[in-house]
Amino acid sequence: MNEYDRLDEGCPDLQIQDDDAVAAKLWTRRSALALTAGFFALGTTPGSASGYVQRIEPRANHIVVSKTNRSMALMSGERTLKRYRVSLGFAPEGHKARSGDGRTPEGRYYIDRRNPRSEFYLSLGVSYPNPEDLARARAMGVRAGGDIFIHGGPRPVSARRARQDWTAGCIAVSDAEMEEIWSMVPTGIPITILA
């Protein structure tokens, strides 16, 4: 006769003891799981996270940026869905030639990634450098650079944002505008950056 057979025969002391032991083990497991889930939740929501909830907006299928006019248009075919004022790199004149030059690139790229936890609010990655940019930089003997984004303001807001062109080569808009852009721009669409 084993322990389980005795439980079947109705040994109340053994059953109570086993139930208490099981309950104690379950409580320990539940506590550990709850504590672990809490740590994961804290680790995935930074203190600077906003209460942003994506709205349903019409979808853009092309972005056009004019560096001269400091404007960005979200397009659907030939129709302009929205137009925004933008800030550019701190030295915006001319095409980006190398890492650290403060210029915003010119040419045709695409939106290749999304980062909701960026150092800058809700950033959309631009596929710079393209093969031509890499070849040009290689010919000059410099690094082409990278990490060009469309984004909102920095976390925390800094004094450099007060200037018109303050980024390291990115395209910046207000946080409220970035929420709207984020909801209208899918990954993979082309972006044309004009002089």
Q: What is the mean pLDDT of residues 78-98?
A: 92
Task: Answer whether residue 33 shows pLDDT above 90.
Answer: no
pLDDT of residue 26: 55
Is the preceding peptide bond at 156 cis, omega within 30 degrees of 0? yes
Q: What is the pLDDT of residues 110-155, one digit of tens each?
A: 999 999 988 888 999 999 999 999 999 999 999 999 999 999 988 6
Least confident range from 12-21, 30-39, 67-76, 114-123: namely 12-21
Under 8 Å between Cβ of 135 and 118: no
| Range of weakest confidence among 94-98, 181-185, 186-190 | 94-98
**CA atoms of 133 and 136, how far apart (whole Å):** 5
Would the pTM count as exceeding 0.85? no
Q: Is the pLDDT of residue 61 over 60?
A: yes
Calculate the average pLDDT of the chain: 81
Question: Which has the higher per-residue pLDDT, 77 or 15?
Answer: 77
pLDDT at 54: 63
